[in-house]
Each structure stands twice: as C-alpha cells, then as structure tokens.
Structure 1
Amino acid sequence: MLCALLPAKRLNDRSCCTGALLSVWWLRGLTRMTSVVCRPMDPWETFCDDLDANLGADKGVMVGVSASNVVEYDPAFRDVKQASEAPQSVSKAEKKQNKLKLAHRDIPKLEVVPTPYREAPSVVARTDEEVEAFRASHSIEIDGTDVPHPIKRWDEAGLISAVLHKFVSEGWKEPTAIQCQALPVVMTGRNLIGIAETGSGKTLAFVLPMLRHVAAQTRSRGRGKPAMPVAVILSPTRELAQQISDVIEKFVGLYKPEIRLATCIGGDSIDRDIGKFKAGVDIVCATPGRLVDILTIQNCKVANLHRASFVVLDEADRMFDQGFGQQVKTILRWAPKEKQTVMFSATFPREMEILARDTLVNPTTKKSDYVRIRIGGVTKLSPLIQQHVKVVEHYEKMTHLAAALREHVVGDQAAIVFVNEQTDADKLFQAVKSEIPDIRFGVSHGGKIQEDREAAMEALRTGETQVLIATSVAARGIDVDKVRLVFNYAAPDHLEDYVHRCGRTGRAGTKGVAITMVTAADEASAEPIAFSLADSGVAVPHELWYLVAARRYRVAAGHAKKKHSGFEGRGFKFSALEQRKVAEERQKKAETADIEVEELETEQPKKKHVAREKTFVDRLDPALLQTANDIARRLAEESNQEFRPIDQYRILIPAGQLDTTTRGSVMQAEFKEELSSKFECNLVLRGTYISGGTGAERAAAQHFILTGRNAGLLRAARDLVKERIGEVQAKGGGRYSFE
C-alpha cells in the first residue's frame, strides 16, 4: 500500500521499494508488540490455550480417564479443529468447565475389595434385652435398620493384635460409648452419622476402620496417571486436620507401612501438596477448599477421586458454618456412588440432616441408607465438665479471669480463653501480659499465618505457654490433655459454638471447668447457653433467666430479631440489587470449577421434611418457662407493649368451602399424628359449617387451626394440609375448590 502512494517516477528506485517493504514489516511488528504490551497476558487464556493443545494432541481422550472409560466428545466439547471452524461457539469459561466435567464425570464403577466384619462370639451371644440395656446405660440412641450390636471390649472390634497391644501401652482399657457402637457399624461398611459429646473419641472411631479398609485395597496408579486416594477425610480447620493426621500416623504402620498419607491444608504451599500427590497417596486429610484446588489444578492431571471408597466428614456442621458447604457437596459428587461415607460431629443441625438424606444413598435402591448414632443430647456436655455461667458487667471480666486462672492453672495444667473477634484476641493478649504477669500467654486466631497458629498450639502442648487466647478457630476438635479450664471471656453467639468451646476441656476421661462471662449486651446468647445448662442438668442462674426473658420481650415486641442457629450464615446483609450482583459473581466463578452455587434467599426454599431437634422451650421445665414468660410479660406491660410468648404461633386455613368428606379426611387421627410427629404442631377444626350462603360466608364460618412453637415448621405443616386437601379432591372426594 505504501508503494502505491509513492510517485510513479520513484517506483523504479530499488532502494525505495525495499524501504517500503521494511516499513510494512515494521508496522506489522509494532502492531503485534503494541497488542502484547497494551493487553497483559490473561491466565485464563493461557489455561485455555494449553487446554486446546492437549485436546488436539489427545484426539478426544481426556487425560486421567482410563482407556476402558474413554469419553467421546459431543458437540459441546469440541476439539481444536472444530473450534477453528466455529471459534465463537464455545467460550473460554465453558471450555474449562467442560474440561472439569470430563475429568470428574462418568466415574467408573468402583471395585472395592471387601473387608468382612464378623461379630465376636461374645457379641453374638448377647440377647436383644442385654443390648438395649447396654445402650440405655451408655445413653446410646440409634436410628436405622439392621444395626450391629455394640461391643464392650477392644478385642470384640475385629482389630489386629498390634493395635490391641498399642491400646494396652497407651492405657486405653475400654472403648467409649461412641466407639462401642460406631466401630461395628463402620466395620460392616455402612454409612454413618455419629453425634457425640466432645472428647468422646470420635476420631478413633473412624480412623481404625479406615486403615483396615485402605490396607485391603490394591494400588492402581501407574506412571504418569493422576493420584487416586482410597480414603478422604475432610476437616473444617487446619489444626483439626493436622491432629487427625497425627492420630493416623500412630496406627498406620501397624496395618501396612507403605500406606501413604498426605495432609493438605490452607496456609501451606500448594506446590508441596502437588508433590505429595504426584508421589502417590492413599489417604488424604484436607480442608475442603484446598482439596478442590488440588482436584482442579493442572488441567485435573494431579488427582481425582475415582477410587475414593471411604469418605469422612469430621465436624461436618462447622464446614457449612464456615461456608464450605458447596465445596463439600462437590467433593462428594466427584467421588464414586459406591463409596462409604462417615459423618461425625458433636452437633448436627437441620442443614446436615438435609445433606445426609441427599448424599447417603444406597446406589442399588436409590434411597437414603445410613445409621445414625447419638450419644446423649445434641447440646449435652460431658458430665466431667463443671459449667459456670456468671452475669457480670464488662469491667468485671478481667478480675474474674485473673481469679480463675490463678485457681485452675497450676503445675503443668493449661487453659484456653475464648473471644469472638480477632482484634479482641490481640487486645486481650496485650492486656493480660501486664495484668497477670505471672502466667505465660499465647494467642491464636484466623488472622495469624499457619506457622504461627501451629507454633501457638505446640507451645500450649509442651508447656511453653500456660494459657492460649483464641477465637473459635481453636474450638473444634483440638485435643490438648492438659487443658483444665475453658474461660469464655466473650459469650459465644450460638449454641453449637458454646458446646465446642467448653468441650476443649474434660477430654479423655479427665475433669475440667468451663466458665462463661455474660453481660447485658449478650442477651441474644443467653437463651442458647441456658439451653445447654438445662440440657446438661446444671442449675441456670436467675440472672440468666432474666436475660432470656428480656430477649423474649424484645423479640415479641418487634425490637429485636429472633436468634437462629449459628449454622444458617451470618454477616453483612445486602440489598436486593447487591444480592443479584453477588449471585452473578458467584455463579461466574462456580462455572469455571463445575461447582453448584445455591441462590441467595430470594425465593421460598424447597420443602424438606426433616426431623427437628427439640427446641429450647421444649426441653425446659414448664414452671421455669412460665417464670420467664411472666417476667417478659411484666416488662412489656411496664412499657405499654403488647406481649405474646414466642412459643405460640397459629395458622388459620378456611374450611367452610370443603365438603364433609374432605374435612373428615384432614381430621383423621393418622394424619393428625403425622403432623404432630413431623412438625410438632396441633390441628383442630373450629366453627360451624354453613351449607348455604356465599363462598366467603362459608369460608369464614369454619376453619382449621394449626398451632405450634416454630413458625417455619408451622408453614410446612400448612403446606402438607393443603396437599392433603388437593389429593382428596383429585380423587373426587370434594365438591369445592380450595385456594
């Protein structure tokens, strides 16, 4: 083009034409260089370029999928040649999502080497009456079919002799209640939900069957293939994951020394974790986020879960509390359907019940199949823990803390002081060093790097420090035998957190003390703390009852919102527009990792009939409950406010337009019993039936009344009543429509 612009008389000038060609070459190079300089290299484009190259080289066979399980590409998964013909048909985000789907879908059927468990003759010889008496004496509640009999001694558990000798050397004379029932269940290959008080030995209840299972499996990883662990253990915190790994290392050599264990937690270098997997791994103990990173890194070539036949969720409720719910569901979805799943925790809220029913499914019958074991109450602390709750002013906390530490931290004994915020932990650490100089303190919270958190925990174990100031990051599963005192300097904001904090003491059969400071500003925490005290048989201070009543008054009067479980999510509340933006961003991120993301609560959630634990008001003594309500009513009257106890809800359903057959079907004793058992509510029919008149007059004349203590359950019961009416009318039993 430059040559065309030159004068005709100079076209014969050879040097000029050469210069023009050089100018064209220079301009093209400048354009390329400018595009590179102005637009930095996008990591996603680099990833997708590598993806295209791999797809073209492999000719449609995904790396990490065996030849016997080759997945053919459909039009949605085009290779490089097809993409070149229609470059705009598949986006880069879709390419990565398709890559992950190919790596983790169509999981081949898992061939598991069975490890048959045979009940010891002494266990078989026990009658059903003896078994029930043993369970009752140890507060063991079971739910499931064909549940194996519990054991009473270690030699009845089907363990190898080396493990039994280890127990003798460690001084473990007999199994705990959860171990007596959980070991036989897990040994038989059943899915399990274990709910037990803290410090009850839940870790050993799944570690021993897991090692037995892993030792029986064969290795199939060849050169250049991704690692495929047999057992996967998920933990909500780094400290708990490391502690579980320490327990496994004590016993792994007794089964098969060549079993390889990898601990993968956030805060450590991911390159180090990748090296562990590439070297081969049989057991993985990890936090959910880090494991998802490992499974999706390097084009999914590092590892997959195609052979994960044993999956453990330890402290499963806390994972959902910390926002790991979707990662956990994704990991379970990427594992084979034939896997055995074990869930353990000291609490088990409703969200975990829903997960269990959706996940613990028999691959043959397609129905939920698991055994549920509960030791004592969900919120019940060990009787070895003395609970003390003091209602004080904020300025009195330091005095009580100093007195408690000087009384209980003697010799090699230790204590943990809990606060709610990271900044509060640092401030208290600086304050106690000057106020209580004769005691050695340490501090740990989520704002510290992993090395500092591990060092603080190790210093407490070795005695370098006597007291650890921490947030709830240290409250789950951390086992330090020397801890004799737990001091809640700041009251926990929900019941489950209180249970796990106090459970850091009184472990492994030792006695402990848990002291909690409550101020007037903590009235939202007063009711769950009183719940735990009453459930554990501990006298509740009158001052705490006053805070409970005051909170009830504020909720009933509309001055405060009702406090829910800590496992329903907390934090900043977004506007509707902000919610939509957040949802869109979460969905975009999830598409690149094949992770399903729940929508923000803008619609009515799907109804799931899940058994609910008894509420606080259900478990209280009626006289005490009446006292609390009387106090709240008096406070309301003094403020000229109308008071209604929060445990009284009712819903009216018009029944005047329904005929006798439909009304009679709804009022059947079996259906009323179903409502009572599932939703803890009562159904009655009130009013007079009018055969004539308008529809509005008939509807107002007679109606069903649902009464209960939980508004959410009452709404679910209302929906079930409407379904019942619709079913009867669909069969021709009713003459009128129901709206």
Structure 2
Amino acid sequence: MEDVLTKNRGHRDRGRGKEERGPEKDRRKRRSERVTRSDSEDRRRSDRERNKRSVSGEDEEEERDRRRAKEKERRHRERAKESDDDDLKRRRKELGEDDNGEKKENITREEDKRRRRLHEWQELKRRKQEAETERKMTDSESGGDGDEDDEVIDPLDAFMNSMVLPEVEKLSNSSSPPLGMNDGILDSKKSGDQPKKGFNKALGRIIQGEDSDSDYSEPNKDDDPSLEEDDEEFMKRVKKTKAEKLSLIDHSKIEYEPFRKNFYIQVKDISRMTEEEVNAYRKELELKFHGKDVPRPVKSWHQTGLTNRILDTMKKLNYEKPMPIQAQALPIIMSGRDCIGVAKTGSGKTLGFVLPMLRHIKDQPPVEAGEGPIGLVMAPTRELVQQINSDIKKFAKALGIRSVPVYGGSGVAQQISDLKRGTEIIVCTPGRMIDILCTNSGKITNLQRVTFLVMDEADRMFDMGFEPQITRVIQNIRPDRQTVLFSATFPRQIETLARKVLNKPVEMQAGGRSVVNKDITQLVEIRLESERYSRLVELVEEWYEKGKILVFVQSQEKCDALCNDLNIEGYRCQSLHGGKDQIYRESAISEFKSSVCNLLIATSVAARGLDVKELELVVNFEAPNHYEDYVHRVGRTGRAGRKGCAVTFISEDDAKYAPDLVTALELSEQPVPDDLKAIADGFKAKVKQGIEKAHGTGYGGCGFKFNEEEDEVKKAAKRAQAKEYGFEEEDKSDSEDENDVVRKVGGDILQHKLAKIQAEAMPEHYEAELEINDLPQNARWKVTQRETLGQISEWAGAAITTRGQFYTQGRIPLPGERKLYLFIEGPTETSVKAAKAELKRFLTDIITNQALSLRGGPQPGRYSVL
C-alpha cells in the first residue's frame, strides 16, 4: 500500500514540474527577444550617428568656405576704403583743408546742439497741444462745440510756422552737410549729452543760436538767468490767487437790461392792522428788525404776492402757513430790498429766499443757451449746495425753471454741459464757481444776467476764508442787483464785513441770535471717555426703532472707528466726513435719508444744511469746540415744527467747552445740570486766575481784525468827529496806548540795532530774503517743510530758515515785525543766489501745477472704500 502511494506521489510531482517548466521557457524566450531587439536598435543608432557625423563634417567645411569668402570681401572693401581715404586726403590737402577735421567737428557739434534744442521745443509744444486737445475734447463731450472763430488758427500750425520752420531753415543753410534729424538725435543719445534730470534750465530761457556747452549738461549756477530775476516780478508771477484769475468787468461799458425788483403789494388785511397790532404780531413771532420802511409781516401765503403756480406747488407740498422768518423775509425780499436774515436752524430760511427768487426769475425773459443765470446762490459746503438745489427742484419743474449745482469733488464735465445749455439758477460753492468762470476764457457761462444774489450761511463763508472769492464774484455782477444774506448765526465782526456787499439792507432776526430751537430737548451728561461708548449703545437701542440718529464726533479717525464698532454690534450705520470722496458722501446721505440705515456718524461737516426727516436724536459723542457749532449740530433735529432730542457727552477734560453749553441751555430755557454748572464755574475761576485760557468762538481765525495802527486811526477819527459836534472830552486811555506804542517801537529799534551790531561783528557772509506771505496756502506749506528746505540747502550749500509771521490779506505788520519770509545765508554769493533761484522754481512749479490741474473727476479723499 505504501508503494502505491509513493508511486502516485511521484507521478504528481512530475506533472507539477512540467507545469512549472513551461512558463520558465516562455520567460527565457521573451528575454532573448528583448536582447535581440535592443542590439538591433543600438546598431541602427550607431549607424545614424555615423551618418550625422559625416554630414556635419561637410557642413563645417562649407561654413569655413563661406567665412573665407567673407573675409576676402571685407579685406577688399577695407583696401578700397583706405585708397578712397587717401584720395580724399589728397584732395583736401590740395584744397587747403585741415587734416584734423576740427572745424567739421565744431560744426557737427553745433548742429547736434540745435537739433536737441529743437527736439525739446517740439516735445514741450507737443505736450501743450495734447493738453489743449484733451481740454477741447472734454468741452465738446460736455456741451457741444465751441465758437468756430477759435478754430480758425490751428495752434500747431502757428507753432510750426513760428518755431520749427526757422530752425529747419537754419539747418538747411548750414555750410556743412546736414545730418538727418533722427541721426542727430540718435548720436546725441549715444554720446550721453541728453539733459540731466533735476536742476536744469527752463526751456523757455534758451535763446535760439546760443552757443553754450552748459545748455544740456549740469548747469552753471552763475549763468542761470533766474538768479537775477527781481523778487517783485517773481511775486507778480506766482502770487495770483484763484480769485485774481477771474478778471474784473467794467460795468460802465456794459449796457444792462432793466429789470423789476418790487413785486409786493400789501393786501388790505395787513394794511388795516394798527402799529400796536403789528408790534404784537412781531413779538409773537419773536421777530426783530433794523432798517427803515420795513414791510409788515404776512400771515398767509396768499398775502406774499407769489404766482398761482408757486402757491399750487406749495399746497401739494403741504406748506400750510409761513414760518416766522418767512413771514417777515418774504415781504422784504419781494419788495426788492437787500436783506440780512438771522434765524435759528430749521426755521425755514431756505424757503425764505427761494420763493422770492423764483418770482423774480419768472418776470424776466427766458435764458437761452450760452447765457448766464438770473439767480446765483452761494453756500460754503457741498452738502448745503445739494440741499438748497433739492429744495429748488421741488418748484422748478412746475415753473419751467432749471437749476444747476456747481461744487467741487464731482465731475466738472456734467456741470459744464448743463451750464452751456443754459440755466436760470446756479447753486454753487465760491471756489468751484470761479473755476467755471475762468475755464475756456469765460465762454462756459457768465454773470451778466445775474440780478438776484443769495449768500446762505454767509458768516461761515467769510470765516472759512472765502472772502476774496466772494468779493471777486460780486464785483463781476451788475451793481444794481438784489442781494440777500441768510444764516443761523451772524457774529458782529462778520456782520460788519458782510454789509460791504449790501445796499441799505434790512436786518431781521427770528428767535434771537444763535439760539437753539425750543422744540429740542437738550440733555448734557458728564461721561468719561471710557464710559461714552456703552452709553451710546444704550441710546441707540432705545431710539433706533423710533427714528433716525445722528452722532457727531470731532475727528475723521474717530468717525470711522465708531462706525465700525457699531456695525459690529449689529446696527447698520454710515460715516460722513470731509476725508471721503464726494461719491461716498452722497451715498451715505442718500442711504440715511431713504431709511436704508437709521444711524449716521459724522463730523461737523454735516452740521449745516443737512435736512433729514424723522431725525429724532442727535448725540454729541464729543463736545463741539464752540457755541455756534453746537447750535448747528443740535439744530439737525426738531426742524419745521417737529420735536427732537439732543444728548451731549462732556467730562472735566472738556471743561473749556462747558460755559458754551451752559449758555446754550440758558438761552433756550432748558434746565442746567448742577454738575455741568460746577465744571463751568470751575473753569471760569481758573481763567480769572490765569491758570487756564478761554477758547475762541470759532470765528476769529480768518475774520478781519484791527491792528494797533488801524485802531489808532479809528480812534483819531472818532475824536475828530466828537470835536466837530462839540464833545472835546479827552480819552486818557488813548494817551496811555500811545505811550505803550512808543515804548514798544523804541524797544524794537533797540533790538534791531543790537542785532545789526552783532551781525557786523560776525565773519563775512552773504544773505538774501524771499517773501512768501502772500503766496497760496499750499505753496507756503510745501516750501516751508523741513524736507524741502533741507534738500535745497544741501544742494546749494546755503542755510534756509523761515522767519516772520503770517499776516492775512489786508493786515499791516506792526512796527518791527515782518511778514512771513525765507531767510537765506551762505558763505558765497553763488550759493545764496542758487538757493534763492531753486526756491523760486519750486514755488513756481507748485503754483503752476495747482493752476493747471484739471479737476474733472471725483477728487481723491483721505479714505477709500476697499
């Protein structure tokens, strides 16, 4: 049995061996085939490489043959050239020419110099032509074509005839063979004679045909003509401000069309009133006035003398009866009188001058394309311009009257287009209006038809430094115009200045001077800086569903930070300040008015002219820095008879603002908190002791003030007038003031002599002065920066310091004092002259760039939205 099993096992092993040996044979067969294929591929590859080597050898041999042929040809040309040069030298020698070619090199150098000069002239003119073409394209896109007379003479043709052709003729008449223009330019570039960047000569100073090696290299400081320029000529050239760019009009040479001013006829109901009844009615309206033959106030719209269309529109807008300022202002303005209106915020001042202006315009012939407006309204801020224009638009469509807002920060092309088509009313800021009047030589619009002039927020315009612009605009308006001034505040020093532009005005006040509306509940809370945010969140939670909330802060950074924090809290809000682009400012106001968001964080830029319905709460997160600003901030609520609330945060660190808050609460008959009264009294006591200094009213920075000399003249005039009327009482204080002036002048003279003696004892040096007091503010600021003065001092080798004191226009320096100027001193006359010339160039560039900059699109602000 065991043998059988062993035999069977052997058969199975042999069968398994056959099965395993079969695949092994297949693997060996495949391996041998792969080896055979690889050997054949190697043989084919080696054959191809041998073929390539044989072909490359033939190519190399052909390449060597070509190089030999080229070398032979080159040698042949060189031998021919040498023979030609020898022949040329022999001919020149026979003709008596100089072998060194020095004369030819001089002529070639002069030609290259002229070509470079001509090329730079062409480049300069080309840039000017491009700017002019761009301006014309902007004008054509924004409002049609200009006059055909302006295109008769092509500026490029005039330039070619006057500048380029004479130079070409000079080059063509040259004794040496002229090189091509392009060749000359290329040679000059290769030789490195291009003008260097930096302190180069002005192109306008290059004289045609001048032979000077310094024209296109590093300039010689002694040869600069600008060094010898007179300071008076320089000041005349750069001192021209924006207001001075608007040329004056000689009204005596213009024959103006007569127009009608008086549209008011007193109705019988008003005429039947006795003087006692009129005075009682004015007292009821809290009206005060100064002037002669002042019309009586009206009680209804039908008594004003307005047209039926205006009355129908007012009925649709639900204007029931005139407000106090309107009841007195409408009869005065409708009768053709100049007017000064002072009323609290939200009292209807805008409608008080808009309605008479519409009646005034409808009485005159319609405005055609190319003519100027009939009514001109000037305001200090863009937001106020937009608000006034919005109020005018409510009536303009029904009356067929057009109104165009003109202000900075927005596209000027659309404004120019609207003005060219003609408009009856322009609402503008003074600066942009002057830009429009100066653009295109005054062909966009003019002021010849203006017969009704309005200045809203006039005090703020004068205080913001707009007086020169306003004065220049008014000087270009016909003298027999009707002028109206309106504002919520009117400080005395501004009032005197404003009367210069009025003719026997009537001054009226409604509700007293600078008083908060009694419909506004004013609350003042003593809060530390760290406690204010949590309290603000509580107020927002309480008032957010009731209506709109406006929060005022002092700085732009605080405005954005507070807005971000409230957005994180879940309250949708917008921020508004002067650092934002105009498009974002308009968007923020639009969303706030349209209930997209009920919360707005703003600086004082929104304190004037912002009229928003349903504005229930105003929060002064940081106390305003003067009383008038507080009146305007709080006046954003409680408008047109509605109720409102205002909350102001203050701490002991803001004690200098406490007296203004106490005054505001007392004048508006609001309760004054005891802790606020204590802070105000403590600050007043410190002021009396000299520990603290009272802050200004906010209107003393730019307003006109008498200096001591002018004060003496005024007092002398008063004494002469008193003597004329028999009052010869002597003012002892005058003599004391005179003694003080004498002592001051004597001390200044002594100091001047001591300084002169010390200067004479010092080693010899050179010095010069450059007055910058009357230059534009931007130029003064940039030229007095430390970096600017340091760079110029290092370049010229002279020290430059800022001296003197800035005096506003019209102010005269006191004896011994100087206007703002730059003092230049150095060891050599050359260094001082060079520093002064570079300062002049720097100032000229700044003023020129500022004047030529085209503000056609939105102006970049301090912040941008990412």
Percent identity for Structure 1 against Structure 2: 34
Q: Give the counterpart of 1:342 among 484, 489, 499.
A: 484
Q: Give the counterpart of 1:548 among 680, 684, 687.
A: 680
2:509 aligns with 374
Counterparts of 1:541 and 1:40, CA distance in 2: 71
1:307 aligns with 449
Counterparts of 1:488 and 1:150, CA distance in 2: 36
Residue type of the alignment partner of 2:562: L
Residue type of the alignment partner of 2:116: L
1:675 aligns with none
Query: Does residue 1:414 correspond to 2:560, yes or no?
Result: no
Residue type of the alignment partner of 1:342: V
1:39 offset after TM fit, Å?
Answer: 11
1:9 offset after TM fit, Å?
Answer: 4.6
With over 3 angstroms needed to count, the CA separation of the structure-2 counterparts of 1:535 and 1:684, relative to structure 1, is farther
2:538 aligns with 403
Residue type of the alignment partner of 2:565: A
Contact in 2 for aligned 1:199/1:504 (Cα 8 Å): yes
With over 3 angstroms needed to count, the CA separation of the structure-2 counterparts of 1:408 and 1:99, relative to structure 1, is closer
Counterparts of 1:208 and 1:356, CA distance in 2: 23
1:619 aligns with none
2:625 aligns with 493
1:357 aligns with 499
1:210 offset after TM fit, Å?
Answer: 0.3
1:306 offset after TM fit, Å?
Answer: 2.1
Counterparts of 1:343 and 1:268, CA distance in 2: 26
Counterparts of 1:99 and 1:448, CA distance in 2: 29
1:322 aligns with 464
1:93 offset after TM fit, Å?
Answer: 6.1
Normalising by the residue count of structure 1, what TM-score does the alignment of the two structures yield?
A: 0.66
With over 3 angstroms needed to count, the CA separation of the structure-2 counterparts of 1:334 and 1:551, relative to structure 1, is farther
Contact in 1 for aligned 2:367/2:373 (Cα 8 Å): no
Pick the structure with greater CA Rg. 2
Counterparts of 2:443 and 2:536, CA distance in 1: 53
2:380 aligns with 236
1:200 aligns with 347
**Deviations along 1:159-202, whole A, 9 cap, x unmatched?**
22222222322222111000100001010111111111111111
Question: Per the alignment, in what secondary structure is the counterpart of residue 486 of structure 1?
Answer: strand
Question: Per the alignment, in what secondary structure is the counterpart of residue 460 of structure 1?
Answer: helix
Contact in 2 for aligned 1:120/1:158 (Cα 8 Å): no
Contact in 1 for aligned 2:307/2:359 (Cα 8 Å): no
1:568 offset after TM fit, Å?
Answer: 1.6
Question: Per the alignment, in what secondary structure is the counterpart of residue 567 of structure 1?
Answer: coil
Residue type of the alignment partner of 1:230: I
Matches within 5 A, 1:309-708: 309-361=451-503, 369-411=504-546, 413-434=547-568, 436-437=569-570, 439-569=571-701, 603-604=707-708, 606=710, 665=727
The two structures, once aligned, show a CA RMSD in angstroms of: 4.0
Q: Give the counterpart of 1:29 among 111, 115, 136.
A: 115
2:80 aligns with none
Counterparts of 1:395 and 1:374, CA distance in 2: 41
Contact in 2 for aligned 1:418/1:490 (Cα 8 Å): yes
Matches within 5 A, 1:58-69: none
1:356 offset after TM fit, Å?
Answer: 2.5
Counterparts of 2:670 and 2:385, CA distance in 1: 33
Matches within 5 A, 1:3-22: 9-10=94-95
1:608 offset after TM fit, Å?
Answer: 12
1:550 offset after TM fit, Å?
Answer: 2.5
Contact in 1 for aligned 2:249/2:475 (Cα 8 Å): no
Contact in 1 for aligned 2:245/2:438 (Cα 8 Å): no
Counterparts of 1:351 and 1:301, CA distance in 2: 37
Residue type of the alignment partner of 1:398: Y
Aligned residues: 541
Contact in 2 for aligned 1:198/1:477 (Cα 8 Å): no
With over 3 angstroms needed to count, the CA separation of the structure-2 counterparts of 1:418 and 1:160, relative to structure 1, is same
Contact in 2 for aligned 1:99/1:299 (Cα 8 Å): no
Counterparts of 1:126 and 1:453, CA distance in 2: 49
1:157 offset after TM fit, Å?
Answer: 0.9
Question: Per the alignment, in what secondary structure is the counterpart of residue 373 of structure 1?
Answer: strand
Counterparts of 2:448 and 2:573, CA distance in 1: 46
1:239 offset after TM fit, Å?
Answer: 1.3
1:113 aligns with 259
Q: Give the counterpart of 2:411 among 259, 269, 274.
A: 269
Counterparts of 2:513 and 2:618, CA distance in 1: 20
Question: Per the alignment, in what secondary structure is the counterpart of residue 247 of structure 2?
Answer: helix
Counterparts of 1:194 and 1:295, CA distance in 2: 28
With over 3 angstroms needed to count, the CA separation of the structure-2 counterparts of 1:176 and 1:403, relative to structure 1, is same
Contact in 2 for aligned 1:409/1:484 (Cα 8 Å): no
With over 3 angstroms needed to count, the CA separation of the structure-2 counterparts of 1:462 and 1:379, relative to structure 1, is same
1:207 offset after TM fit, Å?
Answer: 0.6
Residue type of the alignment partner of 2:673: P
Normalising by the residue count of structure 2, what TM-score does the alignment of the two structures yield?
A: 0.57
Contact in 2 for aligned 1:415/1:468 (Cα 8 Å): yes
1:83 aligns with none
Query: Does residue 1:297 correspond to 2:439, yes or no?
Result: yes
Matches within 5 A, 1:207-218: 207-218=354-365
Counterparts of 1:353 and 1:665, CA distance in 2: 29
Question: Per the alignment, in what secondary structure is the counterpart of residue 195 of structure 1?
Answer: strand
Counterparts of 1:166 and 1:466, CA distance in 2: 29
Contact in 2 for aligned 1:409/1:485 (Cα 8 Å): no
1:464 offset after TM fit, Å?
Answer: 0.8
With over 3 angstroms needed to count, the CA separation of the structure-2 counterparts of 1:131 and 1:107, relative to structure 1, is farther
1:101 aligns with 247
Counterparts of 1:40 and 1:550, CA distance in 2: 69
Quick check: which one's helix share is greater? Answer: 2
